[in-house]
Amino acid sequence: MSSHGSTVVGVVVAILIVGAIGTLGYYQFEIAPNQTTTSSSSTAPAVNCPSAQCANVTIPAGAGTPPSGYSGGKTTFGYSPDAITVVIGKNNTVFWTNDDSAPHTVTSDTAGMFDSGSTGPLTSQGGTYQYTFTTAGTYTYHCSFHAWMQGTVKVLAGTGTGSSSNSASSSASSAVSTSSTTTATST
Protein backbone atom coordinates (compact mmCIF):
# COMPACT_ATOMS: atom_id res chain seq x y z
CA MET A 1 0.00 0.00 0.00
CA SER A 2 1.29 3.44 -0.80
CA SER A 3 2.07 5.99 1.86
CA HIS A 4 -0.84 8.14 0.57
CA GLY A 5 -3.23 5.18 1.05
CA SER A 6 -1.93 4.59 4.59
CA THR A 7 -2.43 8.25 5.43
CA VAL A 8 -6.04 8.18 4.19
CA VAL A 9 -6.79 5.00 6.18
CA GLY A 10 -5.21 6.55 9.27
CA VAL A 11 -7.32 9.70 8.94
CA VAL A 12 -10.51 7.68 8.45
CA VAL A 13 -9.75 5.54 11.53
CA ALA A 14 -9.01 8.66 13.60
CA ILE A 15 -12.30 10.25 12.51
CA LEU A 16 -14.21 7.06 13.45
CA ILE A 17 -12.56 6.95 16.89
CA VAL A 18 -13.31 10.62 17.58
CA GLY A 19 -16.90 10.10 16.43
CA ALA A 20 -17.34 7.07 18.69
CA ILE A 21 -15.95 8.94 21.70
CA GLY A 22 -18.19 11.91 20.97
CA THR A 23 -21.25 9.66 20.66
CA LEU A 24 -20.47 7.90 23.96
CA GLY A 25 -19.94 11.21 25.72
CA TYR A 26 -23.19 12.61 24.36
CA TYR A 27 -25.07 9.48 25.46
CA GLN A 28 -23.49 9.47 28.93
CA PHE A 29 -24.13 13.13 29.73
CA GLU A 30 -27.24 13.99 27.71
CA ILE A 31 -29.36 10.89 27.11
CA ALA A 32 -28.66 8.43 29.97
CA PRO A 33 -29.34 10.85 32.86
CA ASN A 34 -32.77 11.63 31.44
CA GLN A 35 -33.89 8.02 30.99
CA THR A 36 -36.34 6.54 33.46
CA THR A 37 -37.15 2.92 34.14
CA THR A 38 -40.35 1.83 35.74
CA SER A 39 -41.62 -1.55 36.76
CA SER A 40 -44.47 -2.95 34.71
CA SER A 41 -45.87 -4.60 37.81
CA SER A 42 -48.70 -2.68 39.42
CA THR A 43 -48.62 -4.89 42.53
CA ALA A 44 -45.29 -3.62 43.87
CA PRO A 45 -45.79 -2.01 47.27
CA ALA A 46 -44.94 1.63 47.68
CA VAL A 47 -41.60 2.38 49.27
CA ASN A 48 -43.03 4.74 51.78
CA CYS A 49 -43.06 3.32 55.26
CA PRO A 50 -44.75 4.89 58.27
CA SER A 51 -42.30 4.92 61.17
CA ALA A 52 -44.53 2.74 63.38
CA GLN A 53 -44.46 -0.08 60.82
CA CYS A 54 -40.84 0.23 59.74
CA ALA A 55 -37.38 0.74 61.05
CA ASN A 56 -35.84 3.71 59.28
CA VAL A 57 -32.10 3.94 58.64
CA THR A 58 -30.46 7.00 57.10
CA ILE A 59 -27.20 7.26 55.22
CA PRO A 60 -26.27 10.76 56.41
CA ALA A 61 -24.49 13.44 54.40
CA GLY A 62 -20.75 12.83 54.57
CA ALA A 63 -21.01 9.05 54.98
CA GLY A 64 -19.04 8.62 51.75
CA THR A 65 -15.98 10.18 53.40
CA PRO A 66 -14.03 7.97 55.82
CA PRO A 67 -14.24 8.97 59.47
CA SER A 68 -11.33 10.83 61.01
CA GLY A 69 -8.53 8.44 61.93
CA TYR A 70 -9.87 5.63 59.72
CA SER A 71 -7.14 3.08 59.06
CA GLY A 72 -9.03 0.24 57.39
CA GLY A 73 -11.75 -2.26 58.17
CA LYS A 74 -15.41 -1.82 59.00
CA THR A 75 -16.75 0.69 61.51
CA THR A 76 -20.16 1.77 62.74
CA PHE A 77 -19.83 5.03 60.77
CA GLY A 78 -22.13 5.59 57.80
CA TYR A 79 -25.57 4.22 58.69
CA SER A 80 -27.72 6.01 61.26
CA PRO A 81 -28.56 4.19 63.39
CA ASP A 82 -25.93 1.55 62.67
CA ALA A 83 -27.70 -1.13 64.76
CA ILE A 84 -31.45 -1.65 64.96
CA THR A 85 -33.82 -4.21 66.45
CA VAL A 86 -37.09 -5.11 64.72
CA VAL A 87 -39.94 -7.49 65.57
CA ILE A 88 -41.53 -9.76 62.98
CA GLY A 89 -45.10 -8.68 62.29
CA LYS A 90 -44.64 -5.30 63.94
CA ASN A 91 -41.82 -3.33 62.30
CA ASN A 92 -39.73 -5.91 60.44
CA THR A 93 -39.42 -3.84 57.26
CA VAL A 94 -36.24 -1.78 57.22
CA PHE A 95 -36.31 1.37 55.10
CA TRP A 96 -32.96 2.95 54.12
CA THR A 97 -32.64 6.49 52.69
CA ASN A 98 -29.48 7.96 51.14
CA ASP A 99 -29.09 11.57 52.32
CA ASP A 100 -25.48 11.67 51.07
CA SER A 101 -24.33 12.89 47.66
CA ALA A 102 -22.09 9.81 47.28
CA PRO A 103 -23.42 6.49 45.96
CA HIS A 104 -24.04 3.74 48.54
CA THR A 105 -25.39 0.20 48.85
CA VAL A 106 -27.06 -1.90 51.50
CA THR A 107 -25.51 -5.33 50.93
CA SER A 108 -26.04 -8.33 53.21
CA ASP A 109 -22.93 -10.00 54.58
CA THR A 110 -24.80 -13.26 53.89
CA ALA A 111 -24.40 -13.66 50.13
CA GLY A 112 -27.61 -13.28 48.15
CA MET A 113 -29.87 -12.34 51.06
CA PHE A 114 -30.48 -8.68 50.19
CA ASP A 115 -28.64 -6.09 48.15
CA SER A 116 -29.73 -2.67 46.95
CA GLY A 117 -27.24 -3.06 44.09
CA SER A 118 -24.21 -1.15 42.88
CA THR A 119 -26.36 0.60 40.29
CA GLY A 120 -29.48 0.64 42.45
CA PRO A 121 -31.52 3.42 44.04
CA LEU A 122 -29.12 4.21 46.90
CA THR A 123 -26.49 5.30 44.39
CA SER A 124 -28.39 8.59 44.13
CA GLN A 125 -29.02 11.17 46.83
CA GLY A 126 -32.61 10.78 48.06
CA GLY A 127 -32.79 7.18 46.85
CA THR A 128 -34.50 4.60 49.05
CA TYR A 129 -34.47 0.83 49.54
CA GLN A 130 -36.50 -1.45 51.79
CA TYR A 131 -36.29 -5.07 52.85
CA THR A 132 -38.71 -7.10 54.96
CA PHE A 133 -37.12 -9.62 57.34
CA THR A 134 -39.23 -12.73 58.08
CA THR A 135 -36.87 -14.93 60.10
CA ALA A 136 -35.50 -14.12 63.55
CA GLY A 137 -31.74 -13.65 63.75
CA THR A 138 -28.96 -11.10 63.55
CA TYR A 139 -28.02 -9.82 60.11
CA THR A 140 -25.04 -7.64 59.24
CA TYR A 141 -24.71 -5.56 56.10
CA HIS A 142 -22.26 -3.15 54.52
CA CYS A 143 -21.77 -0.61 51.75
CA SER A 144 -20.00 -2.13 48.74
CA PHE A 145 -18.41 1.23 47.91
CA HIS A 146 -17.19 2.24 51.39
CA ALA A 147 -15.41 -0.39 53.49
CA TRP A 148 -15.94 1.50 56.76
CA MET A 149 -19.75 1.33 56.55
CA GLN A 150 -21.31 -1.55 58.51
CA GLY A 151 -24.79 -1.99 59.95
CA THR A 152 -26.67 -4.63 61.95
CA VAL A 153 -30.33 -5.66 62.02
CA LYS A 154 -31.46 -7.82 64.95
CA VAL A 155 -34.77 -9.51 64.11
CA LEU A 156 -36.90 -10.79 67.00
CA ALA A 157 -39.72 -13.31 66.62
CA GLY A 158 -43.12 -11.68 66.95
CA THR A 159 -46.28 -13.14 68.45
CA GLY A 160 -47.22 -16.31 66.59
CA THR A 161 -43.95 -16.54 64.64
CA GLY A 162 -41.20 -19.09 64.92
CA SER A 163 -38.30 -18.43 67.23
CA SER A 164 -35.55 -19.53 64.89
CA SER A 165 -32.38 -17.56 65.46
CA ASN A 166 -30.31 -18.51 62.44
CA SER A 167 -28.48 -15.46 61.13
CA ALA A 168 -27.52 -17.21 57.89
CA SER A 169 -31.03 -17.94 56.64
CA SER A 170 -33.84 -15.49 56.15
CA SER A 171 -36.57 -15.19 53.61
CA ALA A 172 -38.07 -11.95 52.53
CA SER A 173 -41.73 -11.42 51.98
CA SER A 174 -40.77 -8.40 49.92
CA ALA A 175 -37.70 -6.52 48.89
CA VAL A 176 -38.43 -3.36 46.98
CA SER A 177 -36.11 -0.61 45.89
CA THR A 178 -36.94 2.74 44.43
CA SER A 179 -35.64 6.18 43.76
CA SER A 180 -37.25 9.22 42.30
CA THR A 181 -36.80 7.77 38.81
CA THR A 182 -36.36 4.02 39.28
CA THR A 183 -38.58 1.28 40.62
CA ALA A 184 -37.29 -2.27 40.62
CA THR A 185 -38.65 -5.33 42.36
CA SER A 186 -36.44 -8.20 43.44
CA THR A 187 -37.41 -11.41 45.21
Tens digit of each residue's pLDDT (9 = 90 or more) over 100-114: 999 999 999 999 999
pLDDT of 33: 52
**What domain range is 166 assigned to?**
51-186
101 and 178 in a single domain? The answer is: yes
* pTM recorded for the entire structure: 0.61
pLDDT for res 47: 52
- In three-state form (DSSP H/G/I as H, E/B as E, the rest C), the secondary structure along 122-187 is HHCCCCEEEEEECCCEEEEEECCCCCCEEEEEEEECCCCCCCCCCCCCCCEEEEEEECCCEEEEEC
Is 115 found in the same domain as 80? yes
pLDDT at 20: 66
12 shares its domain with 63: no
Q: Are 123 and 55 in the same domain?
A: yes
In a domain, 40, yes or no: no
Please indicate, yes or no, whether residues 81 and 122 belong to a single structural domain of this protein. yes
Into how many domains does the chain fold? Answer: 2
Could you tell me if 134 and 170 are in contact, meaning their C-beta atoms sit under 8 angstroms apart? yes
Per-position b or e across 106-120, b if 16+ CB within 10 A of its CB = bbbeeeebbbbbeeb
Q: Is 87 a member of any domain?
A: yes
Same domain, 83 and 14: no
Q: In terms of domains, do 62 and 27 share one? A: no
User: Residues in the chain with pLDDT < 70?
Assistant: 1, 20, 22-48, 50-51, 160-187
Residue 38's pLDDT is 35
Strand 83-87 relative to strand 150-156, pairing: parallel
CATH number of the domain bearing residue 147: 2.60.40.420
Is 100 within the bounds of a domain? Answer: yes
Say whether both 66 and 151 belong to one domain: yes
Q: What is the amino acid identity at position 136?
A: A
For residue 80, the model assigns a pLDDT of: 95
Asked if residue 98 belongs to a domain, the reply is: yes
